[in-house]
Each structure stands twice: as structure tokens, then as C-alpha cells.
Amino acid sequence: MATRTRSVPGIVVSKADYERLTDLASASLERLPEVAQELLDEMERAKIVDGAKLPHDVVRMGSTATFTSDDGHTRTLKLVWPVDESLDEHRISVMTPVGAALIGLAVGQSISWTARDGKHHRLTVTKVS
């Protein structure tokens, strides 16, 4: 298991998303070990709430998040399940490094994440819809 050397913000997820995401990550441990473990780690530290109590400014499954990255770029992506991923349509899977980093973040929160090429990045959520 990787040792975390970064500070991580508190995140919030709905109970329904928590259950599906934990199942998805557990089922993906052999095929996508790094991302699956990162997602499991995120779920382990998440505050779980009833879906109706999830704040509107928190990235959840199906929401569209706008974020800035440390390279100065701003991106807007819809967070989706792997089967619905389509980069041409700006839909990113939660089973990607950036997707796993986004889940549960609120507007104004930042997180560091590691891309598949090993490079470290930091993103800050600016809008959720």
C-alpha cells in the first residue's frame, strides 16, 4: 500500500455512490490496481451522507466539474461510470486518476493526484453543476 505524503481535503459522498464506488474499486483491483486503490482510499476517508443531504457544490457521480490545474489550464468534465466515459464528450471515468481525485470535492477544495505517467498534479474545483 502506498504511503500518502500529501495533505488531502475532507470529502463527502452519498451513501449510494459510496456503495457503488467501493464495489467498483474492489472489483477493479487486479485490472487497475493503482486507480482502484486510490478510489478505495478516497472512500475510506469520505464522510458518507444521505443523497438528499449532499451539498450541491460537491462533485458526485453524474455531476459536471470545472477545475483549474497547476499547469494553468481550466477543464470542465462530467464524472461518469467507466461504461459512460467519452473524452470526446468531456465525460471522464471515476476509474481514472483525475476522476478518482475529483469525487467528493467541493468548490474551492484542492487535491494533488498522480497521473498514469507518474507526474504529480494539483487541481482546484471552481464549479460544480
Residue by residue, pLDDT tens for the chain (129 residues) are 343 445 688 999 999 999 999 999 999 999 999 999 999 999 999 999 999 999 999 999 999 999 999 989 999 999 999 999 999 999 999 999 999 999 999 999 999 988 778 888 899 999 999
Please report which residue ranges of the chain form alpha helices under DSSP H.
15-27, 33-45, 97-102
Number of residues assigned to the chain: 129
* 10 touches 47 (CB < 8 A): yes
Q: Which domains does the chain have, with CATH numbers?
A: 12-128 (3.10.50.30)
Report pTM: 0.89
Give CA–CA dist 22/18, Å, rounded: 6
- Give the three cell numbers for residue 116: 498514469
φ, ψ of residue 38 to 5 degrees: the values are -60, -45
